[in-house]
Amino acid sequence: MPVALVTPLDDPFGLFEPAIFDDPYPIYHMLRHADPIHWCAPIQSWLLTRYDDANSVLSDRRFASGARRAAATNQMPLELRQRMMPIDDFISQWLMNMDPPQHLRRRVPLNKLFSKPVVDRIAAEIQRVADQLIDRMLRAGGGDFIEDFAQPFPVAVIAAMVGIPPQDHARLFTWFSRMTAYFELGAARPEILDGMTATIAEMSDYFDALLDLRRRIPEDDVLTRLLALEEPPFGREWTRATLALLLFAGHESTRATIGNGMLALLARPDTMERLRKDPCLLDRAIEEMLRFDGPFMRLDRVASADVDMRGQRITSGDRVVLILGAANRDPARFPQPDVFDIDRADIDHLAFGHGEHFCLGARLARMELATGFEALLRQLPQPRLSGDVVWRRHFNHRGLRRMPLGVGARI
Q: What whole-number percentage of the chain has pLDDT above 90?
A: 73
**Sheet order of strands, 63-64 included:** 37-40, 45-48, 319-323, 298-303, 63-64
- The mean-pLDDT minimum among 1-10, 20-29, 42-51, 332-341 falls in 1-10
pLDDT in tens, 283-322: 999 999 999 999 999 999 999 999 999 999 999 999 999 9
pLDDT mean over 17-40: 95
**What DSSP element (H or E) covers 370?**
helix 362-379
Top pLDDT among 56 and 69 is at 56
Indicate the fold that domain 3-406 takes in CATH: Cytochrome p450 (1.10.630)
pLDDT in tens, 77-127: 667 777 788 888 899 899 888 888 888 888 998 999 999 999 999 999 999
pLDDT of residue 127: 98
Distance CA 235, CA 1 (A): 37
pLDDT mean over 45-74: 84
- Helix, strand and coil in the chain, % to nearest 5: 60, 10, 30
In the predicted structure, residue 41 carries a pLDDT above the cut 60: yes
Q: Which amino acid is at 182?
A: Y
In the predicted structure, residue 67 carries a pLDDT above the cut 60: no
Domain boundaries along the sequence of the chain: 3-406
pLDDT in tens, 156-172: 999 999 999 999 999 99
Note if the pTM is more than 0.85.
yes
